[in-house]
Structure 1
């Protein structure tokens, strides 16, 4: 259903995966991958959204700093390896490969690129299209950031993503639907402060915390983290929110 494309940005040419619906799109979605990059799982999610009627573009935000989809898939496999020694021995590789993605300069570059990807998606419509962003983990953080940086985003859906410190909640013009796993303490522990900060704004914010569920519960390629019940419910709620934010 989808195809790999290139998008020229002021931050350099990036790769992306584009999935088109069969008919006229209901709206556009900027889909943001996990820390493993633009792996096949994200292409599959893009195809699923396209099957629901949306034009989806998933940019590759990590190949330019050395985390190609192939490298990301290898790191993901090591992180979820059943042998604790293999996971421990892989830690230096994680730190080396992922360090650049945590720098302020990278964050500034990534947000600029995401806004230009939003330009690309918007330009696919005869009139300014209704746009949303969905992201997972690393991508969840950047879904928050894009929602704050770009007023065209009508809905941001961060899955287990911590809001970035450099984004202002008051700048979010659309609504936010955020998903968390109860046992994902590093991420879920930020929810009270996030909810309190958003309560001081006019942002329509909904959070969903799934009991007994951990991080990356939506990723059906990782049997160690995937939870079908939570994933199916989050998918259904996301589609309902998209229908409200981007009415056909």
Structure 2
């Protein structure tokens, strides 16, 4: 292999992935990230290629069609805690009444990938709503880097209150069972965990590699909880033991799955270096199984 082809197709190491995770969730300093990545990759060209492979691809096709004839898709607005919330609502055209599912985005906001996940949920027989939790800040911007920076300004109480408002909106829709579940990824996973502590009417809470709530608030959880963690995700996994201890002490109905050898964001097929189809498919089947039990 030539030097050029090595740069075009660099080997992605765990150190690179850990560095990327630190950049996207903690430092948000792209220049520092790229400098350090170039040292690991061996050149600036290789670092650029590696960063692209680890990042999520906003232009990726997705796993479902935006024009699926069996679905009704709409951009909606509804009352949030302080202002108007916007979201992406997907409804099966036939059947019902339906259980409803909130699909909560990562720290890049409401994007094409999360809309695709909402369509997948709807194809499983639920009404799915992907809210934009940046609505109070004007909505998710096209620039992913700008979106990440906006999350540091979101007050946690406002996020939780907008989640509660989203539950109320879904309960108000026609042809629903009145039971609401929530699933979220990364920032959204942490949001689901926190929402469960303040929303006693949430029936099911599924968090993918999400930060854990304050242990003191865990006894407030009434939802059935399902937690998906990536075995190589040391940053998030550091909080598992305390969370699980609190869940057990509170007698919460929960399931916890740790997927060995996979990274944070293993469910996101638009990230070539981090996606793991086997783990993603297994986690998805478990998630839908819980929703079918809890939201009927």
Please indicate the TM-score interval, normalised by the length of the shorter structure. Answer: 0.7 to 0.9
Q: Report the Cα distance in structure 1 between the residues aligned to 2:210 and 2:267, rounded to whole angstroms.
A: 13
Q: Report the Cα distance in structure 1 between the residues aligned to 2:231 and 2:203, rounded to whole angstroms.
A: 27
**8 Å contact from structure 2 (residues 96, 176) kept in 1:** no
Per-residue CA shift, 1:141-164, capped at 9, x if unaligned? 111111111111111000000123
* 1:146 alignment partner in structure 2: 195
Q: Report the Cα distance in structure 2 between the residues aligned to 1:235 and 1:150, rounded to whole angstroms.
A: 24
Q: Report the Cα distance in structure 2 between the residues aligned to 1:50 and 1:25, rounded to whole angstroms.
A: 13
Look at both structures and tell me which one has the larger radius of gyration over its CA atoms: 2
Q: Does 1:114 align with 2:163?
A: yes
Determine helix, strand or coil for the equivalent of 1:179: strand
Q: 1:193 to 1:8 in 2, by over 3 A?
A: same
* 1:42 alignment partner in structure 2: 114
**8 Å contact from structure 1 (residues 148, 167) kept in 2:** no
* 2:242 alignment partner in structure 1: 193
Q: 1:25 to 1:34 in 2, by over 3 A?
A: farther
* 1:5 alignment partner in structure 2: 76
Per-residue CA shift, 1:44-67, capped at 9, x if unaligned? 000011011101111100243366
RMSD across aligned C-alpha pairs, in angstroms? 2.0
1:244 positional shift: 1.7
**8 Å contact from structure 2 (residues 259, 279) kept in 1:** yes
* 2:282 alignment partner in structure 1: 233
Give TM-score scaled by structure 2 length: 0.71
1:128 positional shift: 5.9
Q: 1:202 to 1:211 in 2, by over 3 A?
A: same
Per-residue CA shift, 1:63-117, capped at 9, x if unaligned? 4336624123xx3xxxxxxxxxxxxxxxxx688544213xxxx111111111111
1:130 positional shift: 1.2
* 1:18 alignment partner in structure 2: 89
Q: 1:50 to 1:25 in 2, by over 3 A?
A: farther
Any gaps of 5 or more consecutive residues in structure 1? 76-92
Any gaps of 5 or more consecutive residues in structure 2? 1-70
Q: Does 1:211 align with 2:283?
A: no
Q: Report the Cα distance in structure 1 between the residues aligned to 2:161 and 2:201, rounded to whole angstroms.
A: 14
Determine helix, strand or coil for the equivalent of 1:129: strand
**8 Å contact from structure 1 (residues 25, 55) kept in 2:** no
1:58 aligns with one of 130, 141, 150: 130
